[in-house]
Amino acid sequence: MRSMLSALTVVSSLFLSALAVAGQTVGDARGRAELERLLKRLPEKEFFNEWLKKSGELPPDFDALPSQFYLSDPLMWDKNGRLQRVARADWPERRKQLAGLVEKWLLGTAPPPPGNVVADILEKTQDRGHTVLKAQLRFGPNHAAKLNVTLYLPQDQSRPAPIFLCDSERYISWAEGAMAQGFGVAVHGARDSKDESLAYANLFGDYDWSSFRRRGWSASRVVDWLVTLPFVDAQRIFIGGHSRSAKQATAGAIFDERIAGLIASSPGSGGSMPYRYCDQSYFGESAEQLTSRFPDWVHPRVRFFCGREDKLPADSHFLYAMMAPRPVFMSTATEDQVESTWAIEQVYKSIKPVYELLGAPQNLAFRYRPGPHPTDAPTAVAFSQFLLAAARGEPLGELFPFTPIHPWDYAAWEEKHAPRESTQSFQSIQSFPKAKLADPTLDDKGRRMNAETWRAHRATIQNRVRWLLGEGPEFGQTPVKFGVKEPEELPKQL
């Protein structure tokens, strides 16, 4: 039997594949009417209004977009007019399709590499056993774009050093263990505070890049420089960050395959949290909240889908799929207020088959930490362990195995529990009569039941509730053991 999940995936994947080639449009009259309804529902935001005026863009044809409540399968595509699973040889083409969807709907487009990055060494010092180079990169038209970088190198430069690239000095602690074993760290200035990339946002032409796309692209300009240095291992340049820094690190890594791996620490919505699984009333930042509070972070088109996240043609699991087969460390907290553990696990499950297809299932690492959003000291140690193991080509999935809090597999359950006849005359879900809230003490003809009739009807209701809840194990008395100490970590995970 084809499962409900499989059917939804097929519908969504077919649409996504077609969209990657042709796109969807809506007539001007309908589009303007839809935009008017949208603007009435959403809080007014100047940034969004300015973009609408400048671009003249209208919402997509929502009627043509299927509702996809689960994550679409990145390995399903339309090839030669037939929906099929992606073969390994087809992955580069499928990855290109995913990149186009991510650019159009989530992050925006960026200029090609300028190809003319030069570095001015401003200062060379020693700090706690490391050589520190402060450099300013210049690139673009007339070398007008400028980006500052601080590079920390081991004093022993007898062999090229792997590099951890980040956007803040506070992430150096993540690599301390790795630095003790020959790693270097590069810190660049395209970040959320004092963003140096803003100065060249309009220098390269008419691109609709979001801030995360632009900062990720800027990180690639650091890579342009690093790969020219004889004391840097050009094959082992990793990138990472926490929260918003993780989002922009991901935006850089997915579009630059020279970056060898990614540490994504609690990136939240638009990162490890798909928009269709976000709701500010419960967990995460919804599409509306994110595009209201930080309107420049992602492409304004995301705001079209506020309240219609199920219609979004691309979501954040595509970003992780684009990383395959390179090493990725998905890190989150059990009580993280901007991430849902269930949603993170769905993302992992959706991209693991991509890594399996490419022969690299052990390149996907996963780790929970107890507590809220900020990282802790054991997590920094784990990040260094990841960097060292990834640089050596060791199996990361063994070092940091996927240990789900929510192991439930609905598709497997549905396959095992096909609809069947029951003692309550429920032949199948399709045969159920349409029902609405009604007085349970009335019979099928609307007459009030007497006590005897009610008792029989009550038993029927009980049986239906038991059927709905599922069959449980037989009740048995569990022996009580006193004096058993609760594990110290357990209360932190509840």
pLDDT tens, position by position, 250-265 = 999 999 999 999 999 9
Report, as an integer, the average pLDDT of 403-425. 73
Most confident of 69-83, 101-115, 430-444, 478-492: 101-115
Q: For residues 203 and 141, is the Cβ–Cβ distance under 8 A?
A: yes
Sorting pLDDT into bands at 50, 70 and 90, what band is 474? low
Report, as an integer, the average pLDDT of 299-307. 97
| pLDDT, position 235 | 98
Edge-first strand order for the sheet with 328-333 is 118-127, 130-139, 145-154, 184-188, 161-166, 232-242, 259-265, 328-333, 364-369
Sorting pLDDT into bands at 50, 70 and 90, what band is 393? very high
pTM of the shown model: 0.83
Report, as an integer, the average pLDDT of 234-240. 98
Lookup: tokens for 289: 């909240």
What whole-number distance in Å separates Cα of residue 96 and Cα of residue 21?
11
Q: For residues 58 and 301, is the Cβ–Cβ distance under 8 A?
A: no
Least confident among 197-211, 225-239, 280-294: 280-294
- Over the stretch 411-421, which tens digit does the pLDDT of each residue have? 788 787 776 55
Q: Which residue has the higher pLDDT, 408 or 282?
A: 408
Residue 208: closest CA among 334, 82, 304, 296: 296
